[in-house]
Structure 1
């Protein structure tokens, strides 16, 4: 059973990496909202033509 612990640890590391990646994406979205002084909308805004 000594080998089984390694696979659980590897899965935990992958999970942590996935959570960090999601947090990074959310942080970039929040930063962009703060930078552009915008409110969050669930649907993306329609781009305006110049």
Structure 2
């Protein structure tokens, strides 16, 4: 996920990732969302930059 070190958030289906520790804590606290740790080949995902 280091490829997205400057992204505000990356999400795919019910998983999300952020290099920002505050945003990551919010992701971890969300009941229906897991932390995104990898993106599979040919996956369509979204990225929001600062």
Q: TM-score, normalised by structure 2?
A: 0.23
Q: TM-score, normalised by structure 1?
A: 0.23
Higher fraction of helix: 1
Report which structure shows greater RCO (CA 8 Å, sep ≥6).
2
